[in-house]
Each structure stands twice: as C-alpha cells, then as structure tokens.
Amino acid sequence: ADRVKVIFHPEFLSSTSPLLPVDYEEFVRGCHLGVFPSYYEPWGYTPAECTVMGIPSISTNLSGFGCFMEEHIADPSSYGIYILDRRFRGLDESCTQLTSFLYSFCQQSRRQRIIQRNRTERLSDLLDWKYLGRYYMYARNMALAKAFPDNFTYELHETTAAQGFRYPRPASVPPSPSISRHSSPHHSETEEDDERYDEEEEAEKDRQNIKPPAMMGPVPEW
C-alpha cells in the first residue's frame, strides 16, 4: 500500500470542526515540516507562521519570505528554512531539489529534528513586527517621496555593522527529545552519536550565520 496519504481539508482549522477538531496553531505545532513550493508569493505567511512556531519549512526564492531569509541567514537550511530555487531552475530541477530536501529531512534522527526546531524558532525575532514594520514604513515613505517629491523626502540609511543576533534557547522546545515521543516514538539507531545541544555553540552559530539586520534609523514622521 502507498504510505503517502493525501488529505484535502477545504475549510479553516477550528477546534469546533467535526472533521479535524484542532486550532490552527495546534495543528501547525503538531507537524514536522511545512511544504510551500509556490511559484510566486508576494510574502508568504504560511512558512513565516511555521517559523515562529518552531516548525521547519520549504519555501522558494520567488516568495518574499524566501528572499528575506536568504538575505538574513547565511545557511538557511541549517535553521530549518529550505529554499527551492525556482528562479533559475526549470520545473524538473526544482522537483528534484524538493525531493532532495524531503529525503534529507526524513533522514534526520529525532534529536537532530528537535535541535533544528530550536534553531528555527530562534528566527522569530526576524519576523517580529517591531522589525518588519520598519520595512513597511520605509516602503511607504519611499513611495510617497517618489510620487510627491516636492512634499516628501526619503533618505536611505546604509547598513551598519553589528554583532548579529544571540537568541536564547526557546523554552517551548527543550533539547531533550522526551516530549516528542508521541510523534517520534522510535529511537535513532545512532542516538548516542547525534549532535548535542550546547547553548554557547548555538549562539556562536547564530553569530556566524544570521546576518545583521539593516539599521535604517528612525522612521520620519510626516
């Protein structure tokens, strides 16, 4: 029998649904991986929602989310952000790359998946409105300055050097795999050889891989 099952659920997730009585956040946190290989997506809320909930996801470099993560993270896949190249590759090559991502993810041990979920959730600060909102305000101000140059001005600030982010380990996903047995009940055959979770090593990994955010200065008030 085919081990791959396709379930079509044509309505919003809700705890009151008789078919699948779970809330959206509960459903997402219960998944191992989100797959969103869209050919075009202005931003892409679904992979972003996966990220803030600590769920790895597959996106593309034709989505706003995928491009944003490529700009901010030197090695996105190590943080559970797999980005398909749909900009420069054909359909067959993209399918092959998607297959490779899925296969490599399935090859991870339980401990490796949990460590990756820790890393994924540490990216939440990048998607906080306190940071993203500045891009929105600057885009609006740029549009006003271009449309009405006599009334509005816009000055682009250069990115300044920074030490990078240092995210704490999320309390929601501890390094021990003990709480994940209901979804991953089997031990890895190489459990003892799996990488261990070290907060200092993870912080150093963040400093090396996560690029400093653009320091755009104060948003002008008009």
Answer yes or no: are the C-beta atoms of 172 and 121 closer than 8 Å. Answer: yes
pLDDT digits (tens, 9 = 90+) for 149-196: 999 887 766 543 334 444 444 444 443 333 343 344 344 444 455 566
Check the CA dihedral 114-38-98-182 and report its sign.
positive
What local confidence, expressed as pLDDT, does residue 112 receive? 92
Percent of the chain with pLDDT over 70: 76
Residue 26: pLDDT over 60:
yes
pLDDT digits (tens, 9 = 90+) for 85-136: 999 999 999 999 999 999 999 999 999 999 999 999 989 888 988 888 888 8
Closest CA to 57 of 40, 38, 32, 75: 32
Name the range with the highest mean pLDDT among 58-62, 119-123, 202-206. Answer: 58-62
Check the CA dihedral 136-57-28-212 and report its sign.
negative
Number of Cβ atoms within 10 Å of the Cβ of 70: 15
More confident residue, 194 or 13: 13
Q: What is the pTM of this model?
A: 0.74
CA 191/CA 109 separation, integer angstroms = 7
What local confidence, expressed as pLDDT, does residue 146 receive? 92
Q: What is the set of domains in the chain, with CATH numbers? A: 24-124 (3.40.50.2000)
**Helix extents (H) in 63-128:** 64-72, 91-106, 110-121
More confident residue, 217 or 195: 195
Residue 46: pLDDT over 70:
yes
What local confidence, expressed as pLDDT, does residue 170 receive? 41
Residue 21: pLDDT over 80:
yes
